C-alpha cells in the first residue's frame, strides 16, 4: 500500500510516499498545513494518507497540544482535514515520537520492548512492544536537566542523559534503548553509563537510531497498514 506520509515538525515538514520497504525520496519543505497540501498534491498518487506531529493527538486525530511554532494547528481535526484535502483514506495520525519509535522498533524485529528517545528541543520518548506503541512523559525535571536552559542548542551531556534513561528503564524495563535526534550525544560509552546506574536490577542495550530524518514518515506509514 502506497502511503502519503507526513512528519510535520516545528520548523520543517518531511514527506514521502512510502510503499512497504521500497526505496523512496524524502521531500523536505517549510512546515504548516498549507505546505502539507502543496507538497502532498505533488507527491500523489497514493492509497492512503497519514501524519505525525510533535504534540498530543487524540485517538480521533485532533491535535490538542502543539508547540507555538505551529500556531493555528492546535485544535485542528487533522484526520478530517487530511481526508478532505487529499480524498484518500486516512491512516495513522499520531505523535511524532510514537511514529519515530515505531520505525526504530521495526528495524529491530523480535528485540522488544524498545524504548526510543529523540533529543532535540525536548525529549521525545516512546515504548514499543510488539504491536503496541505509547508515548511516555519523560518528566519536565529530567528534560530540563538533560537539555539545559532556554537557548541551549548543543549536544546534551552523556551523564545527564544516562540518568534520565536509567530512570525510564527502571520504570518500563525495555530490552533495547534507541537514542537519536539533533542534540543526541554519541552513543559510544552511553550503554556503560546507563547500565552502571541500573545494576544489579537490569541490563539494556543502548543503540544509535538508524532511521535518520525519515523515521517519522516511515513510522507513520507502517502504522497505517501493511
- The CATH architecture annotation of domain 108-209 reads 2-Layer Sandwich (3.30)
Q: Of 37-51, 116-130, 170-184, which range is least confident? A: 116-130
Where exactly does CATH 3.30.420.40 map onto the chain? 2-96+213-222, 108-209
pLDDT confidence band for 169 (50 / 70 / 90)? very high
Superfamily designation of domain 2-96+213-222: ATPase, nucleotide binding domain (3.30.420.40)
DSSP string, 100-143: HHHHHHHTSTT--SEEEEEESSSEEEEEEETTEEEEE---HHHH
Question: Using one digit for the tens of pLDDT, what is the confidence trace for 71-81?
Answer: 778 888 999 99
pLDDT tens for each residue of 107-149: 999 998 999 988 876 678 899 997 788 776 555 555 655 666 5
Structure confidence at residue 75 (pLDDT):
82
- Write down the mean pLDDT value for the chain: 87
**Residue 53 to residue 32: CA distance in whole angstroms:** 10
**pLDDT at position 59, please?**
82
Amino acid at each position: 500500500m502506497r502511503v502519503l506520509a507526513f512528519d510535520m515538525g516545528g520548523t520543517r515538514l518531511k514527506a514521502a510516499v512510502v510503499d512497504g520497504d521500497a526505496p523512496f525520496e524524502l521531500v523536505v519543505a517549510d512546515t504548516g498545513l498549507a505546505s502539507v497540501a502543496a507538497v502532498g498534491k505533488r507527491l500523489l498518487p497514493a492509497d492512503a494518507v497519514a501524519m505525525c506531529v510533535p504534540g498530543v493527538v487524540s485517538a480521533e486525530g485532533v491535535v490538542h497540544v502543539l508547540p507555538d511554532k505551529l500556531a493555528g494547528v492546535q485544535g485542528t481535526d487533522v484526520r478530517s482535514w487530511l481526508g478532505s484535502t487529499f480524498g484518500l483514506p486516512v491512516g495513522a495520525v499520531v505523535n511524532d515520537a510514537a511514529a519515530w519509535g515505531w520505525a526504530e522498533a521495526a528495524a529491530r524485529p523480535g528485540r522488544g520492548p524498545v524504548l526510543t528517545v529523540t533529543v532535540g528541543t525536548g525529549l521525545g520518548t516512546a515504548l514499543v512492544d510488539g504491536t503496541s506503541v505509547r508515548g511516555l512523559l519523560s518528566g519536565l525535571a529530567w528534560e530540563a536537566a538533560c537539555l539545559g536552559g532556554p537557548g541551549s542548542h548543543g549536544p546534551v551531556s552523556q551523564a545527564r542523559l544516562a540518568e534520565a534513561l536509567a530512570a525510564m528503564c527502571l520504570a518500563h524495563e525495555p530490552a533495547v534503548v534507541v537514542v537519536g535526534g539533533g542534540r543526541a550525544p554519541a552513543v559510544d560509552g552511553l550503554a556503560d553509563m546507563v547500565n552502571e546506574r541500573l545494576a544489579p536490577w537490569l541490563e539494556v542495550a543502548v543503540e544509535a537510531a538508524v532511521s535518520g530524518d525519515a523515521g517519522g514518515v516511515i513510522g507513520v506509514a507502517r502504522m497505517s497498514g501493511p
